[in-house]
Chain A
Amino acid sequence: MVEAPKLENQTLSLGKDGIPLLITVALAAFLLLPVALVFLGAFLSPEFLGIASETWAAEKSGWLTFHWFGYVWNLYGEAFFFSLRLAALSVMFCLILALPAAYLLALRPFKGSRLLEEIALLPLAIPGIGLAVALIQTWTLFRGESWLILAGHLLYTLPFMLRVLLHALRSMPVKEWGWAARSLGADSRQRFLWVTLPNLRPALMLGSLLVFAISWGEFNISFLLNTPLRQTFPAALYATYTSNSFSVSSAATVIFLAGIAPVLALIQWFGGKHFTGIGQGA
Chain B
Amino acid sequence: MKPQPQTFLEVSQIGKTYGHQAAVEDFSFAFREGETTTVLGPSGSGKSTLLWMIAGLTQPDRGRILWQGEDITALPAERRGMGLVMQHYALFPHLSVLENVTFGLRVRGLDPAQRRRRGEEYLDLVRMSALANRRVQKLSGGEQQRVALARALAIQPRLLLFDEPLAALDAPLREELRGELFSILRGLRMTAIYVTHDQIEAMALGQSMVVMEKGRLAQSGTPEEIYRHPANPFVAGFLGSANLFAGEVRETESGRQLELPFGRLAVTQAALGPCWAMFRPEHLGIVSLEHADFIATLNTLIFLGSNMRLQLTIANAPGHAAATSTFLLDMPPGLALQAGQKIGLSLDSNRLHLWPRTSSTADRLPHAVA
Contact = CB atoms under 8 A, between A and B. Distances in A.
B108 A183 contact: no
B77 A182 contact: yes
Interface in B79-124: 79-84, 86, 88, 90-94, 103-104, 106-108
Interface in A187-243: 187, 190, 194-195, 198-199, 201
A66 interface: no
A183 B152 contact: yes
Interface string B184-205: 0000000000000000000000
A12 to B, nearest CB: 39
Interface in B42-85: 55-57, 76-84
Interface in B294-345: none
Contacts of B32: none
A190 B76 CA distance: 15
A173 interface: yes
Given A173-B90, A177-B92, A187-B78, A182 B57 contact: yes
B94 A185 contact: no
A134 to B, nearest CB: 41
Contacts of A198: 94
Contacts of B151: 180, 184
A190 B86 contact: no
Contact of A180 (B56, B76, B81, B84): B84
Contacts of B148: 180
B155 interface: yes
Contact of A183 (B77, B92, B93): B77
Nearest to B100: A180
Contacts of B152: 183-184
- Interface size grouping (class) on chain A: 10 to 19
Contacts of B106: 194
A176 B90 CA distance: 6
A71 interface: no
A30 B94 CA distance: 43
Contacts of A177: 90, 92
B307 to A, nearest CB: 40
A199 B94 CA distance: 6
B260 to A, nearest CB: 49
A185 B108 contact: yes
Interface residues of B, number: 29
Given A190-B107, A199-B94, A183 B88 contact: no
Contacts of B80: 183
B107 A183 contact: no
B361 to A, nearest CB: 37
Contact of B88 (A176, A195, A201): A176
A179 B88 contact: no
A186 interface: yes
A181 interface: yes
B104 A185 contact: yes
Nearest to B55: A183
Contacts of B56: 182
A184 B81 CA distance: 7
Nearest to B77: A182
Contacts of B57: 179, 182-183
Given A184-B103, A185-B78, A185-B79, A179 B90 contact: yes
A190 B103 CA distance: 11
A186 B103 CA distance: 9
Contacts of B108: 185
Nearest to B107: A185
Given A173-B90, A198-B94, A185 B155 contact: yes
Contacts of A184: 78, 83, 103-104, 107, 151-152, 155
Nearest to A201: B94
A270 B79 CA distance: 39
Contacts of A176: 86, 88, 90
A185 B90 contact: no
Contacts of B161: 183
Given A176-B86, A179-B57, A179-B86, A185 B92 contact: no
Nearest to B92: A195
Contacts of B84: 179-180, 183
Nearest to A176: B90
A182 B86 CA distance: 13
A194 B79 CA distance: 18
B175 to A, nearest CB: 25
B295 to A, nearest CB: 56
Contacts of A187: 78
Nearest to A186: B107
A180 B77 contact: no
Given A173-B88, A190-B107, A183 B94 contact: no
Contacts of B88: 173, 176
Contacts of A182: 56-57, 76-78
B5 to A, nearest CB: 24
Contacts of B92: 177, 180-181, 195, 199
Interface string A113-138: 00000000000000000000000000
22 contacts: A173-B88, A176-B88, A179-B84, A179-B86, A179-B90, A180-B86, A180-B148, A181-B92, A181-B103, A182-B76, A183-B55, A183-B80, A183-B161, A184-B103, A184-B104, A184-B152, A185-B79, A185-B81, A186-B78, A187-B78, A194-B103, A195-B92
For the complex of A and B, the 4 pairs showing the least CB-CB separation, nearest first, are A184-B104, A183-B84, A176-B90, A180-B90
Given A180-B91, A183-B152, A190-B107, 7 more contacts: A173-B90, A180-B84, A182-B78, A183-B57, A185-B81, A185-B104, A194-B103
Interface of B: 55-57, 76-84, 86, 88, 90-94, 103-104, 106-108, 148, 151-152, 155, 161
